[in-house]
Each structure stands twice: as structure tokens, then as C-alpha cells.
Amino acid sequence: MKIPFNRPLVLGDEQKLISEVFANDQFAGKGKFSAQCQQFLEDEFRYKKALLTTSCTSALELASLLLDIAPGDEVIVPSYAFITTANAFASKGAKVVFADSRAGHPSIDENEIEQLITPKTKAIIALHYGGVACEMDSIMQIAKRHSIAVIEDNAQGIGSTYKDKFLGGIGDIGALSFHESKNVHCGEGGAISINNDALLERVETLWDMGTNRADFKKGKVNSYGWVDVGSSFYPSELNAAFLSAQLPTLHEVNKKRNTLWNGYYDALKSFAEKGKFELPKIPSFAKHNGHIFYLMLRTKEQRNNLIQFLSEQGISSAFHFQSLHRSPYFASKYKGAELVNADKFSDRLLRLPLYHALNETEQEYVIDAVGRFFAAH
């Protein structure tokens, strides 16, 4: 049996809606399908505003522009993160200050944040790893105390919650990804969510090339022009149409992924109880969307051996982020403390295949292969 690490979601209506783009005769962005997706995100997750972007990376770059991030500013980012989670701010000249993960979960350790804050700190990035929420109440309180912004890197967390709030709707700004590796997607795509009233007006200008076209469309001004910095952040209607087909299926998709996630958890519990490896620990404040299932192995070598063993059985598994403070770009610049948890997740975490099309037989085959490896190790 061959089991890929991921199969991008396709549910059937994508082609039909893309053909409607041909009928509508608008292929560029900001059309009917884009508006539909944005409305869905605002209604479903109670975001004050949602705007589609070409990726989560570009949503983070838009966030960086919106907060006027510039040389001299500092931004607190978990070291266990995607490269552009840091690069969206580093590329604007900000100093990235890396924070450690929680001991029991890859997301940022809220207790490590305050000691990293200086008068230059502009923002804290809360990345919800595997769609499992960070401790947002603590993070929001710290940010409020120091008058700094919170940006949620919610690339993985669509539909997940922290207490009774949807992720991406808690911080000042959130960033979603619709890359094909995410629960719902459009190939490449993303969205920015805005929850802070003070940022609402300007975001649309920056998103729309630095123009006041939104005011023009509302009839507030009789022509539009260059009024601020900005860029062209929006995707084409082809992408938005594809996404329009997928968004309404989100709950069904997340439910299926959670079933698979629980299937792995229950089947592998007995190995964890014997101390063979650790299973993910989900904090009680978090309800997640089944985005990632991972094991924590005892050593890096054992993790790599298991990847190799599974690969020989036709199963693709993968490790994940590599601590950014140890990256070739940053290692020589890094002057902070050791980040033992970030390094632990870099070295010992292994993700198993998990996607909507994975069937029970395939999942059992993966579970069985993991079992055979640990019978011998």
C-alpha cells in the first residue's frame, strides 16, 4: 500500500464554480467569489473584517505593514514556527526575538513572553500549532499591559477555538492559509482577519495597493488614488471560486479529520503508556480541527529511523518546523537563551499522514506499521 503524507482536499464542486468565473467574465480579484469567501469568514468566525490574500505569508506581510513595522522595532515570534512567520517582520527590518514553546505543546509558552518585552516591542505572534490554541487570555493580557499588538498565525487553525472564541478572532490581527496542505484550500491562498477597530479602516487601503478605492466604491469620494503605502495582496477569482466550493464543507472536513486524529490517539495510547513515545497533549481551553497528528519520539535518531521504516512500508511521514533561532540565516545573530522546547519539537516530532481522503484501512495500515516498529524498539 502507498500512503502519501497529504492529499489536497477536492470535494467535487471546485470545477463547477471555476467554470462560473468564465460565465461571470471576471478573472481578476475582488469579485463575487472573493466577496462570498470574505463574508463566510466574517459570519462564521465573527471576525470584524476578513480580506482574502494570495497566501498566509502575504497576510502576515500585510499585518506587518499595517502595524508600521520598521527597523528598530522588535517582534516576539516562537522559534518553532514557519519561516515566513518570522520573515514577514524580519523583511521589514524588525528584530525578531524568539520565544520558546510550552514544554507539553509546540505553541508559544505564554510564561516566556513578558521577559522578552522591551520598549521597542511592537507585536507578539501567537502561532496555533496544529490548530491547537495558544493560551490567549494570558497573551492578550500581557499585550494590553505593554500596549503591543497580537497577531495570530492561524494558518493551521481554521474552525478551531480557544474557550468559546474562534482562532483568528482574538488577537488584533489573524492570518489564515489556504495552501493545499491545509484543511481547506485553493492551491495557494490566505486571508487576513481584523478584530481591532483602530485597524479596520486602513487595512483595506493597504490591501488594495495603497488606494482609497474602497471609499470610491462606497461613494464617499468621487475618484480614487494613491493615499498610503500598500501592495496588491488579493487573489484572482479563479482561486476564490475554488475556495468558495470548499469553505462550506469546513465543518464536515474538520469532523472527519478529528475522527482520524482520535483514531490515531486511541490506537497508539497503549504504546505511549509503555513509554515508547508521547502523544499530543491538548490543553483544556483548546478545541482543535484535527490539522496535525504527531508523535514525540525519544530521540532525533529514533524519529529519523521511524520515518525511514515507514517509508519502506510505502508510508510518507514527516518531521516539521526546525527552530528558527538555529537556522542558517539566524544562528549567528541569535544572542538569546537556549530554547529547549523548540529544539525538542524540532528534533523529535513526527507527523503521520492525516487528510480527508485517508480511509480506515489506510489508517489501520499506518497504525499497524508504527506498532511493528515499536515491537522491535
Ligand X SMILES: *Cc1c(COP(=O)(O)O)cnc(C)c1O
Q: Which residues bind ligand X (CB under 6 A)?
A: 55-57, 82, 84-85, 127, 153, 155-156, 177, 179, 190
Q: Cβ–Cβ contacts within 10 Å for residue 72, how many? A: 10
Rounded to whole angstroms, the Cα distance separating 289 from 359 reads 18
Please give the full DSSP string across 235-289, using - where no structure is assigned. PPHHHHHHHHHHGGGHHHHHHHHHHHHHHHHHHHHHHHHTTS-B-----TTEE--
Rounded to whole angstroms, the Cα distance separating 39 from 33 reads 10
Name the one residue in this structure whose C-alpha cell is 505593554.
Answer: 146
Query: Which residue, 161 or 212, is less far from ligand X as judged by CB?
Result: 161
Least distance to ligand X, CB of residue 299, Å: 25
Least distance to ligand X, CB of residue 59, Å: 8
Least distance to ligand X, CB of residue 122, Å: 19
Cα dihedral 169/262/363/357 (nearest 10): -30
Query: Which residue, 241 or 370, is less far from ligand X as judged by CB?
Result: 241
Least distance to ligand X, CB of residue 94, Å: 17
Query: Which residue, 18 or 86, is less far from ligand X as judged by CB?
Result: 86
Query: Which residue, 183 or 212, is less far from ligand X as judged by CB?
Result: 183
Query: Which residue, 321 or 373, is less far from ligand X as judged by CB?
Result: 321
Query: Which residue, 45 or 373, is less far from ligand X as judged by CB?
Result: 45
Query: Which residue, 188 or 215, is less far from ligand X as judged by CB?
Result: 188
Least distance to ligand X, CB of residue 271, Å: 27
By C-alpha distance, which of 335, 309, 284, 41 is closest to 175?
Answer: 41
Spatial contact of 243 and 249, defined as CB atoms under 8 Å apart: no
Please state whether beta strands 286-287 and 161-162 pair in parallel, antiparallel, or not at all (unpaired). Answer: antiparallel
Least distance to ligand X, CB of residue 84, Å: 6
Least distance to ligand X, CB of residue 156, Å: 5
By C-alpha distance, which of 65, 175, 76 is closest to 122?
Answer: 76
Vertex 207: Cα angle to 204 and 208 (nearest 5): 85
